A and B are shown apart, each in its own frame.
Chain A
Amino acid sequence: MFEYARTAVEGALAAGATYADARVVLAKEERIDVQNDTVQALDRTEQAGVGVRALYGSSWGFFATPELTERHARRAGERAAEIAKASALVPGPPLEFADVPVVDATYETPFEEDPFAVGVSDKVDLLLEVNRIVGAVDGIAIAQSSMTFWDTDKWFVSSQGHRIHQHLVESGGGFDATAVGEREIQRRSYPQSFGQFETGGYEVVRRWDFPGNAQRIAEEAAALLTADEMEERETALILESSQLALQIHESVGHAIELDRILGWEAAFAGTSHLELAGLGTHRYGSDLMNITADATLPGALGTFGYDDEGTAAQRVDIVRDGIWVGVLSGRDTAAIAGLPPGGMVRADGYNRLPMVRMTNVGLLPGDSSLEEIIADTKDGVYMATNRSWSIDDKRLNFQFGCEIGWEVKDGKLGRMLKNPTYTGITPRFWATLDRLAGEDEWVFWGTPNCGKGQPMQVAHTGHPASPARFSQVRVGVRA
């Protein structure tokens, strides 16, 4: 497949581009979705094509075609260059492109069990078993379970000489139990909302033991219908690690994207409360806050060998002892900011433009445990599993809802609370981080549905996190 990528690059250069790169992508996806005792969806998708990016002056153009022939690949390169020339009608400042090592390399996701070699019947049987357990619990109206698997080959070539083949395998799934009351709906999910996804094979699904957790999750969903509402107040908030992972994603991960900081996403996703002048001095949170973007973590969903500009995966410090020290970047954004490129530019398929995306943006673990944190809390609430998320266009003002909460009194979990929510302002919230569980409870949560860009792209990102406490947070907000 390298020949189609090379031909596309040659087409762009022949049409006047000063730089070009191209990716041939073959991507398979299998999704199984079971509701109660019915297979709602058994979908298999295959995508194949070549996308080529061309630079003309300071302007970019991108073109993609599903036709994998020499003729179509060359024409795609030519059209990318033509589009770049049209971009120059409304040109920007001179564009630099940060240097990265030119490599001829391969990378493959380590996995134990090819998810596409596991029989559909085996997968469906597991999901039906989970739904049977969930559905047998009194009060449960809907049992829903699903699995999704991705197998992606990418061949990347650049006019600077890159030649990289990668084979990425991602797997995961989950289930949820829905209880429908007279005027309300309560839901519990496992392992987290939308399921848990990792780089790896079918072993990911086996390890999370869906059937072994089905009864507990279903009983919690049913119990929520008669649980008390959380009252609105300011108190200590303890977050379960998957909810903290989403908190990191929304209030740190997007805010540190350099394209947002530079204003490139201003009209859609938004900008950032961070200004580059504050890099190295701006206090993001308490001293316990240490965030890294690490695309090399084994098994995490945002792990790969090279990004879609040919830059090697790497670990970058983002927040060190509460101080903001790093960003997510690519070759052009890094050059503008005068920073080393972070290898964080990825595309959703052959037909999308690579852009700055999160890798594995996570909070390094502390030295406590959830048990110790609860025991050390006189008055507070514990919330688990995301239900809703909303944050403003600068990533400052957020409000999250969780599926379930419990009051914490005198070091013990108390009443179950339904419809728990909390709200805050990003740096003020992170400044109250005062307890953090350790490596034993550090989970590489995966987010398979991070939307960004126009046309919309969906990225797979990872967010390592362990349970944590925030000393003073406004909780229980509702209409």
Chain B
Amino acid sequence: MSRASDLVEATLARVPSGVDADARASVGNLALTRFANGFIHQNVAEDSETLSLRVAVDGRVALATTTNTSTAGLDALVDSAVAAARLSPVDPDWPGPAPAAAVPGIEHFDPSTADASPRERAERVRSFVEAGAGLLAAGYCETNGGEIVFANTAGQRAEGRSSQAILDGIHQTPTSAGSGHAAGVSLGSLDAGAVGSLAARRARESADPFDTKPGEYEVVLAPECVATIAVFMAFYGFNAKMHLEGRSFAEIGETQFDERFSIWDDVTDDRAMGVPFDAEGTPKRRVEFVRDGTTVGLAHDRRTAKKAGAESTGHYGPGSESYGPFPTNVFVGGGDRSAEDLIAEVERGLYVATFNYCRVLDPKSLSVTGLTRNGTFMIENGRITGAVTNLRFTQSFVEALAPGRVLGVGTDGRFADSEFGAGFIHAPSMRLAGWNFTGGASG
């Protein structure tokens, strides 16, 4: 048995009889090499062991988590969880532990990435930096990997390994910045030189930007922007808890979006990252949220599924009791245009490389304010004619994707960085009929 399996079994063995329990162990490592001003300035790594135990004593629920995996640590973990549960009121929504069920036999894991050395990350950083000669580089290269094992008192057992490699950075001129990003299961799959070259090209092309008037513009959004739209839709809309509480924009069965827009969650996709079960032990499966513009589904955990009379889709995570189930293998459907084609079809508009610091003003309409960053360009007569300074927008993401508003979707889908981080949104470029910019760099 693996170290994670040992920890889980040893924990469950300590749980008093008659108590429902979920035990989850995560054993692995995380390493991140950070660079700025063209050199590595922060370089960190950690080995980690985290053990979580959720118990229900006669319907009274508590969760305890520890990094202390010694014998005394396991004793304390069980004592703490059980004692807290006994003092808690009965939880009428406790769905009980997940029943035994087969987990998809897939593994998104590359051992050489999980074991990547600091030198291998530093070499990627060097390639990124050297791709922008004369520019100022900043960013990071991360590798992580490990095993997660779940077991509960209802007989469910699940285990899986995963790894992840991310390279993200910018090159800067005195007046501009351009970004590049790549992520995947394997560090070997990342072409650091190409990512650095894209960032350098964007930085040079966006140098000496001019102010443009705020207002509504047709836009071509790069995958980073579409990923941020998708992550907000996933968290605030396709989250069954938000939906049950009347806080979501999602209306099942309604054609709320353009027919060119589809979004789903699928850990079984070969390109996905992570393990194929959630922190309740429920096997993950493909869940469609929007199919050809029509809203068709939501992400559930066992708690929301019980309330809604549905089945869990395997989207419970730490904190889901408070924030709701959250998809982590999101795909936005691709189209039939290259990014260049999308730009060529715009008479007058803006191309935006990334969004920054987006915050929700109203979850029901998913009205969001944020800024553009790392490359905003004017498009005139199908060509990029210059760079513009960063703009603030205030825009309903739902309205931006409404029927008739998606004018084209790219073939360039990839894992893109998002407001909530990297590695879980796969998105293409997208051309939208309008985007409401409410302020420029000067206010």
Contact = CB atoms under 8 A, between A and B. Distances in A.
A61 B45 CA distance: 8
B367 A46 contact: no
Interface string B25-64: 0000010111111111111111111000000000001111
A265 interface: yes
Nearest to B242: A185
Contacts of B61: 39, 42
B69 A119 contact: no
A289 to B, nearest CB: 19
Interface in A28-86: 33, 35, 38-49, 51, 59-67, 79, 82-84, 86
Interface residues of A, number: 84
Interface stretch (A276-284, A290-298, A357-365, A391-399): A391-399
A92 B142 CA distance: 20
B44 A141 contact: no
Contacts of A424: 443
A428 to B, nearest CB: 7
B72 to A, nearest CB: 11
B34 A454 contact: yes
A397 B138 contact: no
A35 B245 CA distance: 11
A267 B43 contact: no
Most chain B beta carbons < 10 A, residue from A44, A119, A180, A393: A44
Contacts of B421: 456
B87 to A, nearest CB: 4
Contacts of A185: 246-247, 362-364
B259 to A, nearest CB: 23
A89 B126 contact: yes
Nearest to A181: B364
B189 to A, nearest CB: 21
A265 B36 contact: yes
A389 B361 CA distance: 9
A428 B442 CA distance: 10
Interface stretch (B145-153, B164-172, B277-285): B164-172
A48 B36 CA distance: 31
Given A82-B118, A142-B245, A424-B443, A184 B364 contact: yes
A62 B40 CA distance: 12
A178 B441 CA distance: 34
B173 interface: no
A478 interface: yes
A423 interface: yes
Contact of B439 (A33, A124, A265, A477): A477
A41 B61 CA distance: 8
B364 A43 contact: no
A391 B34 CA distance: 23
Nearest to A76: B47
A49 B138 CA distance: 30
Contact of B441 (A38, A119, A397, A479): A397
B371 A65 contact: no
Contacts of A456: 421
A46 B443 contact: no
Interface string B320-348: 01100000000000000000000000000
Contacts of B37: 92, 262-264, 266
Contacts of B371: 390, 392-393, 397
B63 A399 contact: no
Given A92-B41, A119-B87, A351-B48, A266 B321 contact: no
A263 B138 contact: yes
Interface of A: 33, 35, 38-49, 51, 59-67, 79, 82-84, 86-93, 119-121, 124, 128, 141-142, 178, 180, 183-185, 262-268, 270, 351-353, 355, 387-393, 396-397, 399, 401, 419, 421, 423-425, 428, 454-456, 474, 477-479
Given A90-B35, A455-B142, 13 more contacts: A41-B319, A46-B64, A46-B66, A64-B44, A66-B47, A86-B40, A90-B129, A267-B138, A353-B44, A421-B361, A428-B443, A455-B44, A479-B367
